[in-house]
Amino acid sequence: MSRIALLVPQQSWLDFDYPSINIQLSSVLTSFCELRYLPLCLDFSPPPPGQFAQQARGPPGPPQPSTPGMFQPQPPGMFNPGASKPGPPPPGPGAPQPPGTPQQSFYQQQPQGPPGPAPPGTTAATGQNIFQEKIDFTIKIPERLFRFTANKIPQTPAMATSSKIPLGGILRPLAPCSEEEEDVDTVQPGSAGIIRCKRCRTYINAFVHWLEHGRRWRCNICAQINDTPAAYFCHLDDDGLRRDRNERPELCKGVVEFVAPAEYMVRPPQEPSYFFVIDVSATAVRSGMLHSASNAIKRSLDELPGRGRTKVGFITFDNSVHYYNLGSDLAQPQMLVVADLKELFVPLPDNLLVNLHDSRGVVEAFLDNLPEMFSKDPVVSQSCLGPALKAAFTVMKQVGGKMIVFQTIMPNLGDGALKPRENQAVMGTPTEVRLLRPETTWYKDTAIEFSRQQISVDMFLFPYQYMDLAALGELPKLTAGNLHSYVMFNFDKDGQRFEEQLYKTLVQHTAFEAVMRIRCTKGMRITNFYGNFYIRGTDLMALPNVNTESVFGFDLAHDEQNVASNYVTVQAALLYTSSEGQRRIRVMTQALPITGLTSELVDSVDTLATTNLLCKQAADVSLKSNIDNARMRLQQTCVDIMRAAKGGDKRTVSGYTVPQGPQPTEAEDKPVPETLKLIPLCTLATMKNVAFRGGTDVHPDERIQAFHLISQMWTSTSKYFIYPRLFSLHDMGSDVGYPFEETTDDTPDEAFAGRNRILLPETLPLSVDNLSSDGVYLLDNGVEMYIWVGRAADQNVVNSLFGAPSLENMDPTQINLDLEGDDYASRVGSIITSLRDDEADPFFVSSRVQIVREGDGQMEARFFWFFVEDPASFQGGTFNYEDFMTFVQNGGTSAPQGGGPRGMPGPPGPGRAGMAPPQPSAYGGGGGPPAPAQPSGYGGPPGPSQPQAYGGPPTPSRPQAYGGPPAPPAMNGAPPNQQPQSYGGPPPPGAISPHGRGVPQPRQMMGGPAAYSAPASAPPVVNRPPSGPPSGGHYGGGPPAPRRAGMPPPPGKATARPPPPGPPRGAAPPPPRGPPRGAPPPPPPPPPGARRR
């Protein structure tokens, strides 16, 4: 760092015009250093009080003489005050203070002293001084808009590294506001315009520091001194704060919205434009997708943003591109077909994107005819999505807007054509990541060009077979759009929720032509961004569209060895065009205190925000490295956080930890801090989530969809996506399912849901031990729902929900949930509805509810995925919750200690009315689905006996398609008319197998949002989750010998899981498992909202 020091003898102070020198010289030197990109450090020592008594009063004008103490130590991050070199020497110890010296100035320098307890925000242990500034930390951004992983920042990078707590935040800039919350204030700038820092362009906020009686202000991001415009001037009070701060929202609130003047516009605001690109191939026609899409679009026409300014347009495609003339002078739309995909051109320059108000009749006529327009002779198995996107881009590029794409099959014609590349041999291996990365760059390059022209893409996909979402997902990812996938779309079961989602996408609050930048105080830096956007330069996020569901994350890291202030400021600014054509800037600013104590940092951790950010980081690692590394990083992060939290505060000097001697207390005996109690549970659940679970039972398209969901999830959704809620329906109380009238302080928020505050049933931990064969249970992960019905469930309950006393021997496709029958069914319906009813969100989107019968091995295989407290059958997922807590408590250095080997969970317990459990099957006591065939080793390709799975090349005797909607006789590439045989729900009874009539096909456990699964290869095995790896350590292998639940393993038959990752090579081997040694570990905390029995 370059330093310019002004040395003036103490006796010569009276010979200088101190205020004039201070102001003029600092201005000159500041300009000099800015030109040479040098940090400026001026060492001034103020004269004794009383030498310059003239006060500056009245309206702003030329600089006036200053008051005593006006020139304070330099701004945060500029230099280390302990290293300052001479001005006048300070008074010696015990010297009396000059008369008139204030007891506490606006900036108070913390004196040095012996190590000891430090006030909050100081680093007494470092032996260094920091500036203690008066900051109102009660000014915060509402949690619906912005959440930090920790509400305090470590003083040094060494402390941040040792604590292992991920620093960063997540923001949802346009989150809807509930009735109880205060909406964002709008600020109309005056003649002075929007006040910003002249160096870093930070917006004026509540945490800047006012100097010279309000004539100047210091930026809290870069410490630049700025002049206050005369039109913005106001005097300061005795605390150095502006007297009008409570009258200006930008000076007293964490979030405001400025109305931007003309200089913030590159071009005049454009009309909100919506362009629909619709697949009309045979699959789209026969599935019912066109009917649902036209219904939702017609419903939204009256509520599209923009009022009378809105524009709409349509393009359909199969093996050619179809334009539509929607001129207002026409009675019916005119179709213009371009079949030459190589020399694509726009046949009509006008009337392809029209004003909705002027052409309303033509648009409605088109939507009425769309479902039947291509039904007579649909094009089979051909799709030219790439040329259709280019055609739509040509029409939209002048105005930008939102493009909504509907696709049912893999594009295979023209630009952007894709080839099937699924390969079962790489599933569950490190090379699986190749399937999660796009093979072609065409969609990425197209998305970047769309972003430059302010076009956002929302994709609605309806896969009946592999579609390569890794490539298609580049469009919404880089254009700030969203990806929605409806696997095995069925009009009767999925049509309503698709229409609700499309309607919400079209009419929700949307910002156009947006950019966003996140700034932080000097000494810190933003290192990574997460979400859907395209980065321009280094830190400017290009967002053609931003809506109420747009979520972004970022990592925060130290950029310097010390932060020379007692707080750090983070500011996010979103510049956008509203649907009314007004340019606005939403500015969110929050100050976070600095701490030098690990205990204070740990106490400030936000578990939900931390887990959400860790999920986004793991998804990023999965694509850059592989899924195994993402799981290991999650596990190691959890272990490191818990170890550091138990280590307590450490003494540091100059930012480095001082070595400590042996301590008599053992860290293992220390209790887990309250803020971190749920971190191990959330970590274990994340490792077993569909996005990160190992094995061969997750389809690559499903995993990509999960990554997109995680990228756009706010904390209220991610906490249930990671750890779902399991409700007991058969024994719920008499008041459950009705509005909850009582309001007490000790009633948890999880006890009710929805605007009507519907009381929810008892919540159970996610373990198969909590299932009972005479019970009915509802599982909700925030995206989809499952109802599990036991074999011995009460007939009255089953009849109320399904209209039949029993589900045994019923065709799975004929099981329908009735939520409008008797009182019990209505209460269950109220519960299901309330779980999707967000009081802050004016739109309601329902979820698909799947029925799982006890004994249906295929459906139960997926249902048991969500039981994260039980062992899973892939490497890295073999922990149950108790063992994982022990593993974390031991610091991750050895296998869990405790009782003997733990087998896999047994079947659901006997009914509470004394019903006997189901009879054991050939695979053991009513256990889970059979394990996969024994491969040559974990991670290797399957052996010759491995069944052909979805994702691999089709065999000659088996069609590649994995199902389709009910339709006329199937054609090549069209959906077959029978129930899906893979990548979908369970097959109907008596389904004909390509291997022979009545012979069940080889089992394949591929999962999907609707159940990516293939038919079972053996009689269904039920009542417990998939078994773990056998004792040989290989993934798969034969099932264990049958035994009743609770019995010890047979001699010579080891049924325990392999231990978790052990110590590094050369370390002492873990002790043998046996009786617990010493005091047992503390019991794990219950999951969020769970009430253990």
Largest CA distance in the chain: 109
Predicted local confidence at residue 1026, as pLDDT: 40
Helical ranges in 873-991 per DSSP H = 881-889
At residue 809 the predicted structure's pLDDT band, cuts being 50, 70 and 90, is: confident
At residue 918 the predicted structure's pLDDT band, cuts being 50, 70 and 90, is: very low
CA distance 366 to 332: 7
At residue 1002 the predicted structure's pLDDT band, cuts being 50, 70 and 90, is: very low
Predicted local confidence at residue 820, as pLDDT: 85
Does residue 62 have a pLDDT over 60? no
User: Could you tell me how far CA 1040 lies from the centroid of its own chain?
Assistant: 39
CA distance 662 to 639: 22
Note whether 495 and 288 are within 8 A (CB).
Answer: yes
Amino acid at 1072: P
Predicted local confidence at residue 625, as pLDDT: 94
CA distance 606 to 194: 33
The tens digit of pLDDT for each residue in 515-568 reads 999 999 999 999 999 999 999 999 999 999 999 999 999 999 999 888 877 899
At residue 839 the predicted structure's pLDDT band, cuts being 50, 70 and 90, is: confident
Does residue 624 have a pLDDT over 70? yes
At residue 911 the predicted structure's pLDDT band, cuts being 50, 70 and 90, is: very low
At residue 144 the predicted structure's pLDDT band, cuts being 50, 70 and 90, is: very high
How many other CB atoms are found less than 10 A from the CB of residue 654? 14
Q: Percent of the chain scored above 90 by pLDDT?
A: 57
Amino acid at 850: Q
- The three state secondary structure string of 203-228 is ECCCCCEEEHHHCEEECCCCCCEEEC
The tens digit of pLDDT for each residue in 478-492 reads 999 999 999 999 999
CA distance 403 to 457: 5
At residue 358 the predicted structure's pLDDT band, cuts being 50, 70 and 90, is: very high
The tens digit of pLDDT for each residue in 360-398 reads 999 999 999 999 999 988 999 999 999 999 999 999 999
Q: Strand, helix or coil at 612?
A: helix
Does residue 647 have a pLDDT over 90? no
CA distance 772 to 786: 16
Range of lowest pLDDT (282-291, 562-571, 792-801)? 562-571
503's tokens? 């309607």
Q: Could you write out the DSSP letters of every residue in 288-317? A: THHHHHHHHHHHHGGG-TTGGG-EEEEEEE
CA distance 357 to 341: 33
Residues whose CB falls within 8 Å of the CB of residue 48, separated by 6 or more in sequence, listed in order: 13, 98
446's tokens? 């197209």
CA distance 336 to 760: 55
The tens digit of pLDDT for each residue in 1019-1028 reads 333 344 443 3
Predicted local confidence at residue 275, as pLDDT: 98
Predicted local confidence at residue 650, as pLDDT: 66
The tens digit of pLDDT for each residue in 231-244 reads 999 999 998 999 99
Predicted local confidence at residue 386, as pLDDT: 96
Range of lowest pLDDT (211-225, 769-783, 914-928, 1076-1090)? 914-928
Predicted local confidence at residue 779, as pLDDT: 97
Does residue 670 have a pLDDT over 50? yes
Residues whose CB falls within 8 Å of the CB of residue 83, separated by 6 or more in sequence, listed in order: none
Instruction: Output b/e per residue, 273-303; b: 16+ Cβ within 10 A.
Output: bbbbbbbbbbbbbbbbbbbbbbbbbeebbee
At residue 908 the predicted structure's pLDDT band, cuts being 50, 70 and 90, is: low
Residues whose CB falls within 8 Å of the CB of residue 810, separated by 6 or more in sequence, listed in order: 804
Q: Strand, helix or coil at 464?
A: coil
Region 215-226 average pLDDT = 95
Angle, CA of 49, 52 and 56, to the nearest 5°: 115
Burial category of 768 from C-beta neighbours within 10 Å (exposed 0-12, middle 13-18, buried 19 and up): buried
Note whether 779 and 771 are within 8 A (CB).
Answer: no
Query: pTM here?
Result: 0.75
Q: 584: part of which helix (H) or strand (E)?
A: strand 583-595
Angle, CA of 888, 696 and 438, to the nearest 5°: 100
More confident residue, 1001 or 815: 815
Predicted local confidence at residue 256, as pLDDT: 98
Burial category of 183 from C-beta neighbours within 10 Å (exposed 0-12, middle 13-18, buried 19 and up): exposed
124's tokens? 């007494």
Does residue 696 have a pLDDT over 50? yes
> 703 φ, ψ to 5°?
-65, -40
More confident residue, 33 or 414: 414
User: Could you tell me how far CA 177 lies from the centroid of its own chain?
Assistant: 19
CA distance 839 to 272: 27
Q: Which residue is associated with the tokens 């009022």?
A: 307
* 577, β-bridge pairs: 512, 583
Nearest to 1059 by CA among 924, 898, 949: 898
At residue 261 the predicted structure's pLDDT band, cuts being 50, 70 and 90, is: very high
Average pLDDT taken over every residue of the chain: 76
Q: What is the rounded (10 degree) CA torsion for 929, 933, 936, 941? A: -90
Residues whose CB falls within 8 Å of the CB of residue 334, separated by 6 or more in sequence, listed in order: 324, 325
CA distance 877 to 868: 9
> 370 φ, ψ to 5°?
-55, -45
Cα distances (angstroms) measured from residue 185 to each of 145, 250, 587, 590, 965: 14, 9, 11, 16, 50
Q: Could you write out the DSSP letters of every residue in 616-673? A: HHHHHHHHHS-HHHHHHHHHHHHHHHHHHHHH----EETTEEPP-PPPSS-GGGSPPP
Cα distances (angstroms) measured from residue 361 to each of 298, 330, 768: 11, 9, 57
At residue 114 the predicted structure's pLDDT band, cuts being 50, 70 and 90, is: very low
CA distance 591 to 212: 23
Residues whose CB falls within 8 Å of the CB of residue 520, separated by 6 or more in sequence, listed in order: 221, 526, 556, 568, 569, 570, 571
Residues whose CB falls within 8 Å of the CB of residue 903, separated by 6 or more in sequence, listed in order: 1040, 1049, 1055, 1056
The tens digit of pLDDT for each residue in 867-907 reads 999 999 888 889 999 999 999 988 876 554 333 334 444 44
Region 416-426 average pLDDT = 92
The tens digit of pLDDT for each residue in 452-464 reads 999 999 999 999 9
Nearest to 236 by CA among 218, 209, 206: 209
Strand duo 185-187 + 255-259: pairing: parallel
Note whether 583 and 591 are within 8 A (CB).
Answer: no
Highest-confidence segment of 63-72, 662-671, 907-916, 986-995: 662-671
How many other CB atoms are found less than 10 A from the CB of residue 482? 22
Q: Strand, helix or coil at 513?
A: strand
Note whether 376 and 383 are within 8 A (CB).
Answer: no
Does residue 632 have a pLDDT over 80? yes
At residue 814 the predicted structure's pLDDT band, cuts being 50, 70 and 90, is: confident
Does residue 710 have a pLDDT over 90? yes
Number of residues written out for the chain: 1093
Region 193-205 average pLDDT = 96
CA distance 47 to 101: 11
At residue 916 the predicted structure's pLDDT band, cuts being 50, 70 and 90, is: very low
Predicted local confidence at residue 669, as pLDDT: 63
Predicted local confidence at residue 654, as pLDDT: 53
CA distance 649 to 601: 10
Does residue 352 have a pLDDT over 60? yes
> 185 φ, ψ to 5°?
-75, 145
More confident residue, 864 or 1066: 864
Range of lowest pLDDT (34-43, 175-184, 917-926)? 917-926
Predicted local confidence at residue 1004, as pLDDT: 36
Range of lowest pLDDT (207-211, 798-802, 1084-1088)? 1084-1088
Angle, CA of 157, 162 and 165, to the nearest 5°: 90
368's tokens? 């009425």
The tens digit of pLDDT for each residue in 149-161 reads 999 999 999 999 9
Region 427-446 average pLDDT = 94
How many other CB atoms are found less than 10 A from the CB of residue 733? 10
Q: What is the DSSP letter of 357?
A: T
Region 209-237 average pLDDT = 95
Instruction: Output b/e per residue, 789-803; b: 16+ Cβ within 10 A.
Output: bbbbbbeebbbbbbe
Nearest to 1055 by CA among 943, 923, 937, 861: 923
